[in-house]
Amino acid sequence: MVEAVFETNLPGLLHRGKVRDTYDLGHGLLLMVASDRISAFDVVMDQPIPGKGVILTQMSSFWFGVIDQVMPNHMVATADDDAAMANIEKTGALRKLTPELARRSMVIKKADRFDIECVVRNYIAGSAWAEYERSGTMNGEPLPAGLRAAEKFSEPVFTPSTKASSGHDEPLTRAEAQDLIGVEMHRLLEEKSIRVFEVAHEHARERGMILVDTKFEFGLVDGQLTLIDEVLTPDSSRYWDIDDWEPGNFPPAFDKQFLRAWLLDTDWNREPPPPTLPGRIIEQTRERYLQAYQRLSGKSLIL
């Protein structure tokens, strides 16, 4: 089994997030390394999920290829793609990159990021369902009465949230989001987010999977609106098996919901430090991520 990577320490560290370590390569390029860290309720667990970062990087690379016709993205190459990396100068962190780290790394273009999470939902689940149960709303907007858990909307809905540097992302009403990024940029991000979602949803459906909801990030690369960060991975997306879904019940998910459910059954208060994860929870979480990649990409992945 692949050795777990909780943290990387390469030259030129720019940012260490909940999962990814980002390094400045110069010449407008960054190296984004996906660790095996996993967070839940905005707290990073003390135990990693071995191989998770490899799955995230390979899955983002796959999806960028699927949606490339719809929206440009910031990926230059996965670092283990020798042909794509041939013309990239081996500066900074790339000089210290081992083959194992390369599998979980991506060279990307620098972007001026919009500080907003572009969330798209096609079924009511997760935090949207929790808000609906409390107040009959989603992102502060009223929804019809009588919706059932996991019910499908008539069309995908754009439900943006804040992009918090720490703590919880907070849902934004349409007016709040427009105040944050401007009316025209809000319109454009909504349009692009839903279009990318529709392409990904159809691809997943053809493979017996439901893309329930996801979040995208966008930025400007040389003035062009560009899809950035990870995309459509189990860290940022909720997937169900088509055969498991029926309104009224939440089916098993191919994402970190399995981990969240276990945590909710403990007496943890959702503040650091998190509880110690049992081996079976680590292994079953890993298996869900791996199944999602293999089913959606049609490729095998040896970890």
The domain that contains 79 carries what CATH number?
Answer: 3.30.200.20
Q: Quick one: which of 183, 171, 173 has its CA closest to 215?
A: 171
Dihedral angle sign, alpha carbons of residues 194, 42, 52, 245: negative
Q: CATH no. for residue 164? A: 3.30.470.20
**Three-class secondary structure of residue 77 per DSSP:** strand
Q: Rounding to the nearest 10 degrees, give the CA dihedral for residues 242, 57, 14, 196.
A: -50
Residue owning tokens 């279009």: 195
> Same domain for 134 and 236?
yes
Q: Are residues 117 and 245 in the same domain?
A: yes
Average pLDDT over residues 93-110: 97
- Average pLDDT of span 71-99: 97
Tokens of 51: 């191989």
Query: Averaged over 66-87, what is the pLDDT?
Result: 97
Structural domains counted in the chain: 2
Structure confidence by residue, pLDDT tens digits, 181-222: 999 999 999 999 999 999 999 999 999 999 999 999 999 999
The answer as to whether 280 is a domain residue is no
Q: Taking residues 166-175, what's their average pLDDT?
A: 84
pLDDT tier at 2 (50, 70, 90 boundaries)?
confident
- Residue 142 structural domain: 113-256
Contact 21, 7 (CB under 8 A): yes
Confidence (pTM): 0.95
Given a cut of 60, whether residue 41 has pLDDT beyond it is yes
Of 84, 110, 136, the last residue of a domain is 110
Domain endpoint, select from 110, 128, 155: 110
Checking if the pLDDT of 30 tops 80, the result is yes
Question: Residue 96: its pLDDT value, please?
Answer: 96
Q: Quick check: is 165 in a domain?
A: yes
Give the rounded percent of residues in the chain with a pLDDT score beyond 70. 98
8 part of a folded domain = no
- Tell me whether residue 90 is in a domain: yes
